[in-house]
Each structure stands twice: as structure tokens, then as C-alpha cells.
Structure 1
């Protein structure tokens, strides 16, 4: 017997349900992922993505083709990263559907790969961080601190249990972060944030309305209302500051963010415009030794390579 993933009590997304003739297959697919250890939050995300997809394409599972998928992306006001994630979800769903003979082909195979988001896309500016820290909403202030100063995802913030995830001693406070999937990491907590945490009572940093912890959407809304920027832009702000303040230690920043790959981390880091300006200015102040070094290098360059290169002012 499969779990009812579209039950309102499971996810509280009454406005999005799979198309009626998709329902049973979606239930079976999600149950198969649960069986191999996917977390409830991963399943919630996949359920939402495939349910929305089914309603927008508005066709039976076995009649969805590449044109329908492309039309879905054209109709959707999603940024590149959201489209990439949605494409991955549909691809995995149809791999399962083909294996179970519910569909005879995977329409994603004929859909072009969606490009990676540009590096450093949408980083929350400092004036917005400062506005968030001045908010009268205590939850918003804490969420801004966790995002901008520790680089936490909104779900990671929502799941913080004061009793079990906080280690507090005279030297420092440390936080056990429950990341994506089953990944965990332990991070030191900045002093000002540690003091704010000590003032909180109860079991959860962000308690739910009835019991348990608040949902990720609640945390994201607090941040958006306080800063006018989405929560993930604070995570990119943290990544950018940490990268340059640690002497560009990309491996360390990747570990702080809980990324599996440094290539993912590099997409979070913005360009330091001061360093860019210094680099451009440095090219106009070459001394004699640099000129000789340059001549030695260019002496070994093929003529075609040197075309278009000019030195000097």
C-alpha cells in the first residue's frame, strides 16, 4: 500500500495536486524513492514539481513529448536553477515510468540541457542585510543572521532544535546543521548570533504553529519581508564574503555551505569589483622587469597568437 503523498495533511499544498490520471503513478514513484532512502523534504519537493508539471502539460503520462516539456518551461516564470531542478525531476520520473511500462519513452531525452546559472547570481546587498537586522520581527532577524552569517538554507534554519543541535560552552557555540539528504555538518556560531540563540526558549528556533518546527516557507517569508530579497541570496552573500575573507579557500567555503562539489560553490561566489579594478589598473603600471619578462614570453608565441596583442599605453 502506498502513502498518500497528495494528502493535504502531508504537505499543505491544496492548490497543487497531480492531474487525476497521474495520481496513482506519482504515488508509486514517490514510494519507490522513499524505499531507497530519500528524505521527506526531498520527496515533498519532487511531489510539488511533478504535480505542477502534470497539471501544466495537461496530458496523460504516455502522451507527453519533448514539445510539451518545452512548452511547460515557456509557460513557467521560473529562473534557470528552478528550471534545471524541474527538468531533473521530470527526467527521473520518466525513467521510472519507462521502466514500469507506464510510458514508452523519456521526453526529456529530446529536451536541450538548461544552462547553469551565471556565477554569483543575485547576492543580497549589505544595505538589505542591515535592514533585515533592524526588523521588529525577532524571527526575521534570526533568519537573516543564519542566512547572511552562516550561509544556511531556509530548511536548515527551520529544523534547528535548541536542545539537540546546539552545543554551547564557554569557548564557543557550535551548531549541528541537517543539510540536504542525510548530510550533516557542524559549524561554529558567530558571537552575536550565539547571544540571540541563548535568549530563545522552547525546543525549536522557529517553532511551528501547532507543534514541531516551522516550515521552510515560513523562514523564507520572514527573510523576504525583512530584506526584500529571497533567502538563497543571503547564502550567496555568505559564500562570497567567506571566499574572499579566507584568501579564496574554495574547499573550505564548499564545506561550510554543505556542497558536494566545489563547482557548485563557485556558482555562489560573486566577483569582487575592487579586485577587478585593481587587476585592470595593474596592467597599466608594468615596470621594466615585467616588460622584459613579457618579451621573453612573447618570443615563444606563434605569430597567429600574437595578432591583436598590444602592450604599453
Structure 2
């Protein structure tokens, strides 16, 4: 109830409920109100083989759980608030596809619902949408006349994104081919063959199958871990390489802080070579 009232997305609610349930089990019958900082640390220690990001997600979930308890006057303190988050690796180079690779990957989207799946790829790779944002997209979020889409992002924040002209035409065609949902009230833009809103897992599966075929034909990319989110990385990198102001990229991606957008300002190997090619060592020194 607390998360619904606070506006948390369905995906976040599901993840936090799972994490909170794990925490309650770890208490072995101890009341959460009586638990201490040590109990939270023990939970995180039990997940020591998990990544720092995963452990920080667990901590965030437990903190949120206690915020709810405090609001409902079922606890007077939040022991999880006293636990420090794990230090994650900073300045890590994002995994992304070059623009020509992104175009090439589209050729490996096949199947009965090829046009629908291509539209999904285009929204993530050429508009920077998160997989959850594609999942939540409704028919009325596509503003054909304006050439924009309204995106419900993290923190329940709306963001209106201009769509490339060719993608507007493509989305219009996909809208016409849209599968009729079982429920008349279902207004999802992307519908599964069962007549329901296409789930996040189904979208990820489309990406997984496509990337597998793509990498089989491109052995040089076999070690690259590609996913839906890597399409978002590719979009951000492409924007910055094309000289788009980082503040504009921040708004397009729906980031709360420009520091998050900064991770995409990495310099690639080709740019390093071009920079070093301008260095001229005097011949007289080495002769």
C-alpha cells in the first residue's frame, strides 16, 4: 500500500517486496521494530557473492520497507539507514554498439511479429527508452501529429520525447498492425500474442534472441554482454558523439542528475588514436 501511494512502479514494487520478504525471513521471527543495524548487515553479508549493485538494491528495499513501517507507526527507527552502501565501480565504460553495429543488429530481428519487435528496438536504440518504459507505453502516449511519445520513467516522472520522422511512420504502421487485446480496456501499445500487454520479460527475450543471432554472425562481438539496456547506452553514446549538448541528452534519457549522464562521455580507442596523430615529435630529436 505504501509503495502504491508513493508512486513506485509495478516493477520496483515487485522487486522491493521480494527483498523485504527475504529480510523478514532472515530475522527468524524477530520483530522488524526490534531489529538492529547488525541484522541488516547480516542480510547483506549472506549475499556477499552478489554484485555491489545487487547488494545496494537490497539495502534500498530494506530502507524503503522501514520508511513504510515508520509512516504506519509500526517502528520508530530505520536501522537500514545507518548501513553504508557498497562502493560501486566508478567511471566504468558502458557497453554499447557503434552506430553501424546498431543498424546491423536490426537485420537479425525475425519472427511473426517482426515489425512490432523492430519498433521496440528502435525505441530503445534510437530514443533511449528503458525496457520498463517500452513496457508501459500506451496508445495515447504516441502523439503522431506532434511526432512525440510521452514516457513514464523512473520516479513516476513524465518525459515527452521527439521521435525521428522515419520512426513516427514506422510506429504508425505498427499501431495499425497491433494485435487486438483480450480486454477492451487494455491500451498498451505493444500487445503479446495472448492479447495482453507485452511483459518486460518478453521484451528482454526478443532482445536476447536477436543479440544471440547477431553475435553468431559477428564473432568479434561474441564477448560483448548485450541487453536492452545496452541499446540505451548505444543511443546516449551516439548522441554525444554527434555533438549533442550533454544537458539535452540528460533530458532525453530522463536522468535526475547530469552526473548519471556523464558516464556516457567516455572516449573510445579511435578518438584516442586521432588525438595522438596530432602529436608531432621533432625529427631532429630521434635522428
Shorter-chain TM band = 0.7 to 0.9
The answer as to 2:159 corresponding to 1:185 is yes
Partner residue of 1:121 out of 86, 90, 94 = 94
List alignment gaps of at least 5 residues for structure 1.
1-30, 288-311
CA displacement at 1:190 relative to structure 2: 2.1
| TM-score, normalised by the number of residues in structure 2 | 0.73
The 1:98–1:71 alpha-carbon spacing in structure 2 relative to 1, beyond 3 Å, is: farther
Partner residue of 2:229?
232
Alignment correspondent of 1:34? 4
Task: Please tell me the root mean square deviation across aligned C-alpha atoms, in Å.
Answer: 3.1
Match of 2:39 among 65, 85, 91: 65
> Secondary structure at 2:137's aligned position in 1?
coil
Instruction: Look up the match of 2:141.
Output: 165
Query: In structure 2, the residue corresponding to 1:213 is in which secondary structure?
Result: coil
In structure 2, relative to structure 1, the CA distance for the partners of 1:111 and 1:132 (3 Å cut) is same
Of residues 99, 102, 110 in structure 2, which corresponds to 1:136? 110
**Hey, what's the Cα distance between the residues in 2 that align with 1:154 and 1:279?**
36
Q: Does 1:280 align with 2:245?
A: no
TM-superposed deviation, 1:97: 4.5
CA–CA separation in structure 2 for the residues paired with 1:222 and 1:277: 36
Map Cα deviations across residues 65-124 of structure 1 (whole Å, 9 max, x no partner): 254133233143x4x434333322222324545674558761562445332554432224
Contact 2:150 2:160 in 1 (8 A): yes
Separation in 2, partners of 1:122, 1:83 = 22
1:237 partner SS: helix
CA distance in 1, matches of 2:74, 2:129: 41
Q: Distance in 2 between matches of 1:106 and 1:195?
A: 53
Shift in alpha-carbon separation, 1:276–1:70, aligned structure 2, 3 A: same
Equivalent pair of 1:120/1:236 in contact (CA under 8 Å):
no
Whether the 8 Å contact between 2:207 and 2:228 is mirrored in structure 1 is yes
Q: Kindly state the Cα deviation for residue 245 of structure 1 after the two structures are TM-superposed.
A: 0.7
Structure 1 position 155 matched with structure 2 position 150: no
1:253 matched to which residue of 2?
249
Which of the two has higher C-alpha Rg? 1
For the residue of structure 2 that corresponds to 1:74, the secondary structure is coil
1:131 Cα deviation after fit: 2.6
Aligned residues: 251
Q: Distance in 1 between matches of 2:67 and 2:76?
A: 9
Aligned-pair CA distance for 1:225? 1.7
Asked whether the equivalents of residues 151 and 234 of structure 1 are also in contact (C-alpha less than 8 Å), the reply is yes
What are the superposed Cα offsets for residues 164-192 of structure 1, whole Å, 9 maximum, x if unpaired? 112223xx622111212321122222233
Shift of 1:220: 1.8
Of residues 20, 29, 32, the one that matches 1:50 is 20
Structure with larger RCO (C-alpha < 8 A, sep 6+): 2
